[in-house]
Amino acid sequence: MGDASREIMRQARRQVPEWTPSRVNEALAHQHEVGPEHQEIVLVDVREKHEWNEGHIPGAIHVPRGYLELQIEEAVPDKSKTVVLYCAGGVRSLIAGVTLQQMGYTTPISMSGGFGRWKANGYPLVQPRP
């Protein structure tokens, strides 16, 4: 990673809160308990289609990073929702969080460590079809 990339990441980390997979899992479990009428968290997978097809977090919606600006407002029309973004390792989701802020979303959050850490922690997955 070059100097410019490192600086972009430093700025993104100052702007976008990061939650650990553990915190995301707890928040999703709590949301499940209170029921669908109180859903304040939207989980968005910003990985590429082939990554999504290899497995993803239950309840996530898929909006690839390359299409984020074109598709997110349709996928998540309520900009006041907490939007938890994840990718493979936490870089694309952090940049996606900055983009959502620029688009008027009030609470984008990046999941640190991404899907890789989620999977390593043994949290629930939607497995790929054989």
Q: What is the mean pLDDT of residues 91-101?
A: 96
pTM: 0.92
Q: Cβ neighbours of residue 114 under 8 Å, at least 6 residues apart?
A: 86, 87, 88, 89, 90, 91, 93
Q: Respond yes or no: is residue 87 known to be catalytic.
A: yes
Is-contact 127 100, C-beta < 8 A? Answer: no
pLDDT at 2: 87
Task: Quote the Cα angle for 30-84-32, to 5°.
Answer: 20
pLDDT at 14 over 80: yes
35 band by pLDDT with thresholds 50, 70 and 90: low
pLDDT at 38: 67
Q: What is the mean pLDDT of residues 83-107?
A: 97
Task: Quote the Cα angle for 89-26-97, to 5°.
Answer: 40
Walk across the sheet containing 18-19 and list its strands. 18-19, 107-111, 82-86, 41-45, 61-62
In order of start, what are the domains of the chain with their CATH numbers?
Answer: 3-120 (3.40.250.10)
pLDDT at 73 over 80: yes
Q: What is the mean pLDDT of residues 50-72?
A: 96
Q: Which of 87, 88, 98, 109 is catalytic?
A: 87
